[in-house]
Amino acid sequence: MVSKIAPDRYANTGFSVKDTPPEVNERLFREMMAKSPAERVRIGMRMAALARKMVWASIPDDLPEIERRRQFFERFYGEPAPF
């Protein structure tokens, strides 16, 4: 099943990388929308997991665990940790 979202709905909204030619952005959008909703969710979840790993790896591992977690929260969510 293909999404019923119009193919140009997000392709030229400014959410894409600015140095990507519009025709490439449109192609990537079409290819993503051709995937099943479940596959798009899986891709998004893998991207989020990778982002978490990258942020966690950027925090020095010689800090106390609570400090590492505080820094992770602030870097990942962009706001002060509630702890």
Of 22-26, 58-62, 70-74, the least confident: 22-26
Whether the model clears a pTM of 0.75, i.e. scores above it, the answer is no
CA torsion, points 30, 46, 58, 71, in degrees to nearest 10?
Answer: 110
Element (H, E) at 73: helix 65-77
The string of pLDDT tens digits covering residues 2-41 is 455 455 555 555 454 567 788 888 898 899 999 999 999 9
How far apart (Å, rounded) are the C-alpha atoms in residues 25 and 31?
Answer: 10
The string of pLDDT tens digits covering residues 45-59 is 999 999 999 999 999
Judge contact between 39 and 27, C-beta under 8 A: no
